[in-house]
Amino acid sequence: MKFKKKILCIGAGYVGGPTMAMIAYKCPDYRITVVDTNPDRIDSWNSAELPVYEPGLDQIVKKIRGKNLFFRKDVEDQIKENDIIFVSVNTPTKTYGAGADMAADLQFVEKTARQILKYSRSSKIVIEKSTLPVKTALAMERILASGKGKITFEVLSNPEFMAEGTAMSDLENPDRVLIGSRETPSGLKARSELIDIYARWVSSEKIITSNIWSSELSKLVANAFLAQRVSSINSISALCEKTDADISEVAKAVGMDSRVGSKFLKASIGFGGSCFKKDILNLVYLCRYYGLKEVAFYWENVIKINEYQQERFIANILNNMFGTLAGKKICILGFAFKADTGDTRESPAIYIAQKLLAEHAELTISDPKALKNAAVDLAGIKGNIKYIDDPYKAAAGCHALLILTDWDLYKRLDFEKIYRSMVKPAFLFDGRNILDHKKCFKIGFNVYPIGKPALSHFKQ
Ligand code: NAD
Ligand code: UGA
């Protein structure tokens, strides 16, 4: 079959895989190829068990894989073959040298630009899909312009706003698609080529364009604003616990103001995931770099409140369980950083598990999708840990139950059965406020939600 466009994505991760699957699904006359330097990842994309769990992803990939969606290892040949290249490689926080623990590590992006330059035999549009510090496109352009031939490259910024767990519906019905370009004739031409792709399924008013720097910066700012809401509500949850106010009631009352809005106001053990912390650190680093100390300080506190919320959760467990966890069995329900994903990157559960082990607690950990990753995250950490699929078996014989991920299935568990199997007094710490706390209290649990009065059977 002759395809109308040939598109390549470099980086077959949580973003590259799902976004390209959606483009291929919506544009059957385009050929989409995804490459990665990690051969195991490509093998998994070509296998029955995909490397990323996302509701709806399996069905789409299995329908179109081998038709117009391909996962391949031959990065160099694919660069030659394709006209439009998305760069969706990882941009973790730097762990070394200048800006360590704060700046984005751009080595993978730079390597990709150099590879594109080296193997290209025709002009191409190169699209930043990864989340990058503002002005990265300038470095990309400079590298791509350093070749000797007549080939030209147009760099666009098209940040991805999908969230894990809802990636496929976010990609199918995005709030907006943002495309940043140079405002030159060739920049505008490349921009309109990319608009044509999204216009296949996204309405035109949702496809917005901007200058390239605004586009790069908007992505960091969008994540910072979302994380800021979580830290804002979590900071108030601490005050609720001191004053008998209820954080869910406060969030409802505040969120019903249409200027504030009701989303992203769920108090929790704090935000996790691979991006919020890294992208805010990146923003803080940029502000410091440009001498904006006060702005840097403002955003840094979003992360500090997030850490404080996790510390508070641990302190609450320790204080309420009579000041010692040594030898006590604690069941963790949920290890993923949020529901509907197996991803555990920066999951608050990692920190909480480590702290509990440091108190010499014994852990049983259950999660419907994230147990493999949990075992990797906690590998090498001293202590007694069991990974158990069945939440009932995981809870049996435990002193306390912690809800760390908002999986729907936990709301439907038989808590009478769980209570009967636990050591008494049985403690329940709901780090996601997803359970019916009054019901659990009536069953016999001592219940400790986030930002709500505790329900305890102990005499004060
Ligand atoms: P990831 O680590 O899952 O995937 C990145 C992939 O790129 C890896 O498989 C890696 O092997 C590959 N890679 C690195 N260098 C390469 C090279 N030179 N050639 C070929 N492959 C290479 O990361 P991710 O979660 O998909 O995130 C990618 C980017 O998208 C990041 O900048 C992230 O901030 C951003 N982002 C992520 C999400 C999310 O939900 N995970 C959402 C929006 C944006
Ligand atoms: C987030 C953004 O929502 C996406 O728009 C963005 O594209 C993505 O980061 C990225 O750049 O990687 P994601 O991290 O997948 O997506 O998931 P979120 O739904 O944003 O949740 C992040 C964390 O905040 C989770 O740990 C979640 O449990 C927590 N959270 C979220 C709360 O504690 N309370 C809330 O009200 C909302």
Q: Which atom of ligand 2 is nearest to the CA of 161?
A: 7
Tally of CA atoms within 13 A in the half-sphere of 401 that contains its CB: 33
Whole-number Å distance, alpha carbon 268 to ligand 2 midpoint, is 12
> What pLDDT is recorded for position 136?
97
Pocket of ligand 2 (CB under 6 A): 131, 160-164, 223, 226, 230, 264-266, 268, 271-273, 275-276, 337-338
Question: Residues with Cβ < 8 Å from 377, sequence gap 6 or more?
Answer: 335, 344, 347, 350
Question: Residues with Cβ < 8 Å from 426, sequence gap 6 or more?
Answer: 399, 400, 401, 419, 444, 445, 446
> What pLDDT is recorded for position 272?
98
Whole-angstrom distance, CA of residue 300 vs CA of residue 294:
10
Whole-number Å distance, alpha carbon 191 to ligand 2 midpoint, is 28
Cβ proximity of 62 and 69 under 8 Å: no
Whole-number Å distance, alpha carbon 273 to ligand 2 midpoint, is 7
Q: Which atom of ligand 2 is nearest to the CA of 167?
A: 15
Whole-angstrom distance, CA of residue 437 vs CA of residue 445:
9
Minimal-distance CA residue to ligand 1 atom 44: 160
* Per-residue pLDDT of the chain in tens (460 residues, 90 and over written 9): 789 999 999 999 999 999 999 999 999 999 999 999 999 999 999 999 999 999 999 999 999 999 999 999 999 999 999 999 999 999 999 999 999 999 999 999 999 999 999 999 999 999 999 999 999 999 999 999 998 888 999 999 999 999 999 999 999 999 999 999 999 999 999 999 999 999 999 999 999 999 999 999 999 999 999 999 999 999 999 999 999 999 999 999 999 999 999 999 999 999 999 999 999 999 999 999 999 999 999 999 999 999 999 999 999 999 999 999 999 999 999 999 999 999 999 999 999 999 999 999 999 999 999 999 999 999 999 999 999 999 999 999 999 999 999 999 999 999 999 999 999 999 999 999 999 999 999 999 999 999 999 999 998 7
Pocket of ligand 1 (CB under 6 A): 10-16, 35-38, 41, 75, 88-91, 108, 111-112, 130-131, 160, 162, 164, 274-275
Query: Which ligand does the CA of 225 lie closest to?
Result: 2
β partners of residue 386: 364
Q: Give 101: exposed, middle or buried? Use CB within 10 Å, 0-12, 13-18, 19+.
A: exposed
In testing the pocket of ligand 1, which one of 20, 36, 170, 346 has its CB within 8 Å of the most ligand atoms? 36
Minimal-distance CA residue to ligand 2 atom 17: 163
175 by DSSP, 3-state: which?
coil
Let me know if 275 is a catalytic residue: yes
> What pLDDT is recorded for position 457?
97
Q: Strands 207-211 and 385-387, how do they pair?
A: unpaired
Whole-number Å distance, alpha carbon 151 to ligand 2 midpoint, is 40
In testing the pocket of ligand 1, which one of 15, 38, 72, 175 has its CB within 8 Å of the most ligand atoms? 15
Query: Which ligand does the CA of 51 lie closest to?
Result: 1
In testing the pocket of ligand 2, which one of 175, 216, 226 has its CB within 8 Å of the most ligand atoms? 226
> What pLDDT is recorded for position 148?
84
Question: Residues with Cβ < 8 Å from 6, sequence gap 6 or more?
Answer: 30, 31, 33, 81, 82, 83, 84
Whole-number Å distance, alpha carbon 349 to ligand 1 midpoint, is 22
Whole-number Å distance, alpha carbon 226 to ligand 2 midpoint, is 7
Q: What is the pTM of this model?
A: 0.97
Q: Catalytic residue among 240, 275, 331, 440, which?
A: 275
